[in-house]
Homo-oligomer: A and B are copies of this chain.
Amino acid sequence: MFKATIYVTLKDSVLDPQGVAVKGSLHTLGFEGVRDVRIGKRVEVLLECESRAEAEKQIKELSEKVLSNPVIENFTFELEEVA
């Protein structure tokens, strides 16, 4: 069994309205030092798979096809074997 932690983030060139809204709220609440906020996703996937190579291939594929939108988002992932 493998556990993958996938991080999906907006590309730098893409405006993040949710981040802008959170920044505004933080300023209002007194956190005036906040210069920028960017919001992404963290997805944990538990995958039953025979080898690490196969797990890596599947995680890459599902991240590209399902979890992210390659036009506006990037993804990275970490993979660890679990009992």
By a beta-carbon cutoff of 8 Å, the part of chain A in contact with chain B is 1, 7-9, 19, 22, 25-26, 29, 31, 33-49, 58, 61-62, 65-67
What are the residues of chain B within 8 A of A26 when measuring CB–CB?
A: 62, 66
Q: Are the CB atoms of A1 and B40 closer together than 8 Å?
A: no
What are 5 inter-chain pairs, A to B, with CB distance below 8 A? A22-B67, A34-B46, A34-B47, A35-B47, A42-B42
Contact of A29 among B1, B40, B44, B65 (CB under 8 A): B65
Q: Measured between C-beta atoms, what is the minimum distance from A61 to chain B in Å?
A: 8
Q: Measured between C-beta atoms, what is the minimum distance from A2 to chain B in Å?
A: 9
Q: Measured between C-beta atoms, what is the minimum distance from A74 to chain B in Å?
A: 12
